[in-house]
């Protein structure tokens, strides 16, 4: 078997990683909103699987070293985590930016450690007919209208957000801009490389997502060697928060349907 991607990662890359549960390893990767956006997923999956949930360096006040300059760096770092812990038969679940990291991991996974993917309203590829909305250009109301099926329920006036929380969000956005701002929210080569990924990839998409549309998701899914799109009604960019029940049911089914069965003793 060929070795895992041995490309260097920053020597001082700090990783904050939470682990819980037992069973098949599941790596859960948050998006630009930070680890709170996947906390419910992690709690649920830890009941039947071994979950590893990192905070990407630079999010929620964690340190981002100068050498961490792109999403590919994070993909390599997390592949090193899987290798260093001797993990195989891994399901990688990524939301938004985390889905992009998951896709970049899959195309680099020469060691065959990843056996399944779940991408939730992921960014990361360029689809000519479905441009990614410029998130950085939106005000708070625009973010709500593009991100949620029910924007009135989720919109928060920045004037009503506590200073500490506002600083956290601003720090997260600064890190996201540094890692994914140019080219904006995509790797120009990734879409064409996904055909080499043959592990089952489930792409879950909120029907009302206006950051990346379901048509963008369909093109993303079609690019994988073994991809499938499921659209979640009455949900936007974070369907795991707006419609957790159907999302968790679909992920549970994918977790149990994919992967390598244990060897008989």
Task: Output the pLDDT for position 261.
Answer: 62
Residue 102's domain comprises 16-257
* Domain presence at residue 10: no
pLDDT digits (tens, 9 = 90+) for 223-260: 999 999 999 999 999 999 999 999 999 999 999 999 87
Confidence of residue 91 (pLDDT cuts 50, 70, 90): very high
Question: Would you call 24 helix, strand, or coil by DSSP?
Answer: coil
* Domain presence at residue 77: yes
Answer yes or no: is pLDDT of 11 > 60.
no
The alpha carbon dihedral of 263, 248, 121, 223 has a sign of positive
Q: What is the CATH number of the domain that holds 239?
A: 3.40.50.1820
Question: Which helix (H) or strand (E) covers residue 249, if one does?
Answer: helix 244-257
Task: Output the pLDDT for position 264.
Answer: 40
Whole-model pTM: value is 0.93
Q: How many structural domains compose the chain?
A: 1
**Bridge pairing between strands 50-55 and 16-20:** antiparallel
Question: Would you call 135 helix, strand, or coil by DSSP?
Answer: helix
CA–CA gap between residue 233 and residue 96 (Å, rounded): 17
Averaged over 72-79, what is the pLDDT?
A: 95
Task: Output the pLDDT for position 1.
Answer: 33
Tell me how crowded residue 222 is: count the other CB atoms within 10 A of its CB: 14
pLDDT digits (tens, 9 = 90+) for 170-194: 999 999 999 999 999 999 999 999 9
Q: Is 89 left (phi over 0), alpha (psi -120 to 50) or beta?
A: left
The alpha carbon dihedral of 224, 128, 218, 53 has a sign of positive
């Amino acid at each position: 078997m060929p070795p895992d991607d041995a490309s260097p990662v920053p020597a001082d890359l700090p990783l904050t990683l939470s682990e819980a549960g037992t069973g098949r390893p599941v790596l859960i990767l948050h998006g630009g909103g930070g680890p709170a956006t996947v906390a419910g997923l992690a709690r649920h999956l830890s009941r039947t699987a071994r979950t590893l949930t990192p905070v990407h360096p630079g999010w929620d006040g964690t340190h981002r070293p100068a050498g961490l300059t792109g999403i590919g760096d994070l993909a390599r770092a997390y592949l090193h985590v899987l290798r260093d812990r001797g993990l195989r038969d891994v399901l990688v679940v990524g939301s938004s930016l985390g889905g992009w990291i998951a896709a970049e991991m899959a195309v680099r996974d020469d060691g065959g450690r990843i056996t399944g993917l779940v991408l939730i309203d992921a960014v990361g590829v360029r689809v000519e007919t479905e441009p990614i909305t410029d998130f950085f250009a939106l005000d708070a109301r625009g973010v709500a209208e593009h991100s949620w099926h029910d924007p009135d329920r989720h919109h928060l006036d920045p004037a009503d957000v506590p200073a500490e929380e506002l600083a956290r969000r601003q720090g997260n956005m600064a890190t996201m801009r540094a890692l994914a701002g140019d080219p904006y929210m995509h790797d120009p080569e990734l879409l064409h490389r996904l055909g080499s990924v043959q592990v089952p990839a489930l792409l879950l998409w909120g029907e009302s997502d206006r950051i990346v549309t379901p048509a963008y998701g369909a093109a993303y899914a079609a690019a994988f060697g073994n991809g499938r799109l499921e659209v979640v009604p009455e949900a936007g960019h974070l369907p795991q928060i707006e419609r957790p029940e159907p999302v968790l049911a679909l992920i549970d089914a994918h977790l149990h349907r994919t992967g390598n069965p244990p060897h008989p003793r």
